Amino acid sequence: MKWHHRLADDLANLRTAFDFSLEQGDQDTALAIASNLGDYWMALNLREGNHWLDRALAATPGRLTGERIRALWVGAWMATLEGDTQTAVIRLDEARALAQRAGDREAAAHVDQVTGVVALYRGEAQRAGALLRSALREQQERDDAAAVCVTVFYLAQAAAWRGEADTHGWAEQCLALCDAHGALWSRSYALYLTAYRAWSRGERDRAEELLRESLRSQRVIEDHRCFALCAETLAWLAEAEGRHERSARLMAVAGAAWHRMGTSLRGLAHVAAFHDKCEARLRTALGERRYEEARLRGAGLSHGQAVDYALEEPATPSEDAARQAGATVLTPRETEVARLVGDGLSNREIAARLVISPRTVEAHVDHILHKLGFTSRTRIAAWVAAQRRASDG
């Protein structure tokens, strides 16, 4: 996803812009920068996202603006995903009061939506369903497709966790919305949820098939939260099949993904309960020493290696070519750009170094990612480092 790579590349600049906005007293710009990156933070780094929002909100106490209301409900969502529902409730209470004062029905619907997510993560699935339905009515009336898709996803999750028959209907509706709008990222979550429902009904083969389909998207996008959910559920399936070592490793790679985000599974009361039961059975089946050995092997995998392990599929041809042929798959200019990426330079810095335009650098980086079968600049940097070690040896 190009926006993902662009944000990763420009994060240092965004940090500077955020700090500058606060220093200059431009609170609305600081709030906008922090909250508009919400999807990025929720996929990759909750800890940093919450830090930004904490600073922006602290600089604007009681301010009645649309930017503050948005920052409050986005911040509440991120706090929930980080497991801090107490902070989430405080932020939501203020957001609700400000939205009512402003007569902002759209913001009020978002507050209901996130309050429903808080209830869901606290294990209050029935209350979550009522709040999410309230949000959905307003979002459908406004024809807000993106918000509707997210709310429908959480309604499906609430139904799944309650074991309700309408889970399938909500999940299928979510998948249809994602397909209609080409929403690959959201679709990966909808597939996970459909898989969870299949698992809960004892449909193991169907669940594994859906989880693999969701995980394949991780070769294109990098979302630690969705990956962790899929890997965790695959671990339960592996344990039920008697593949105890694989199950332990999958639980470890899921745990590593939660850690990279700055959170843990503890924030998901319903899923955590199944995790604990599975872990107890694994410790009994493997014994403490073998369990710890398997866990350490899983925890040590990179994101790309973890995706490969979870899928049990061979690397893509482009990845094989990159590993076997090294820099020969790249043009001389692409090799030069890759090395500068490995040195930690941004696109603008590379452009200045090579006296070319940033847009040209961006095109080179996209070609490098495609040729090497990678999904992020960090994987290019790791590949460059491996190439250098090989040449030094």
pLDDT tens per residue across all 393 residues of the chain: 445 656 666 777 888 899 999 999 888 899 999 998 888 888 777 888 888 999 999 987 877 788 999 999 999 998 888 888 899 999 999 999 999 999 999 999 999 999 999 998 888 888 888 999 999 999 999 888 888 888 998 888 888 777 666 666 887 888 888 777 767 777 888 889 889 888 988 999 999 999 999 998 877 677 888 999 999 999 999 999 999 999 999 999 999 998 887 778 876 777 888 999 999 999 999 999 999 999 999 988 888 889 889 998 765 544 444 444 444 567 788 889 998 988 888 888 899 999 888 888 888 888 787 677 676 787 788 788 777 766 655
Q: Please, what is the angle between helix 358-372 and helix 317-325, to 10°?
A: 100
Q: Please, what is the angle between helix 2-23 and helix 27-36, to 10°?
A: 160
pTM: 0.70
The distance between the two most distant Cα atoms of the chain, rounded to a whole number of Å, is 67
Spatial contact of 27 and 60, defined as CB atoms under 8 Å apart? yes
How far is the C-alpha of 55 from the C-alpha of 19, rounded, in Å?
Answer: 10
Residue 356 has a pLDDT of 87
State which H helix or E strand residue 287 sits in. Answer: helix 269-299
How far is the C-alpha of 225 from the C-alpha of 231, rounded, in Å?
Answer: 10
How far is the C-alpha of 379 from the C-alpha of 361, rounded, in Å?
Answer: 17
Residues 6+ apart with CB under 8 A from 154: 113, 116, 117, 120, 128, 132
The three-state secondary structure class of 188 is helix
DSSP state of 141: H
Spatial contact of 122 and 269, defined as CB atoms under 8 Å apart? yes
How far is the C-alpha of 263 from the C-alpha of 150, rounded, in Å?
Answer: 21
Task: Give the distance, in angstroms, between the CA of residue 197 and the centroid of all CA atoms in the same chain.
Answer: 20
Residues 6+ apart with CB under 8 A from 336: 354
User: Would the CA dihedral through 145, 53, 223, 369 be positive or negative?
Assistant: positive
Residue 324 has a pLDDT of 45
Residue with tokens 């030094």: 392
Structure tokens at 249: 């490793």
Residue with tokens 């603006």: 65
At 266, the amino acid letter reads: R
Alpha-helical runs (H) found in 217-268: 224-240, 244-261
Domains along the sequence of the chain with CATH = 1-103 (1.25.40), 317-392 (1.10.10.10)
Structure tokens at 233: 């559920």
Q: What is the DSSP string of 298-330?
A: HHT--HHHHHHHHHT-PPPHHHHHHHHHGGGGS
Q: How many CA atoms lie within 13 A of 180 on its CB side?
A: 10
How far lies 213's CA from each of 35, 161, 235, 316, in Å? 30, 22, 16, 15
How far is the C-alpha of 79 from the C-alpha of 282, rounded, in Å?
Answer: 31
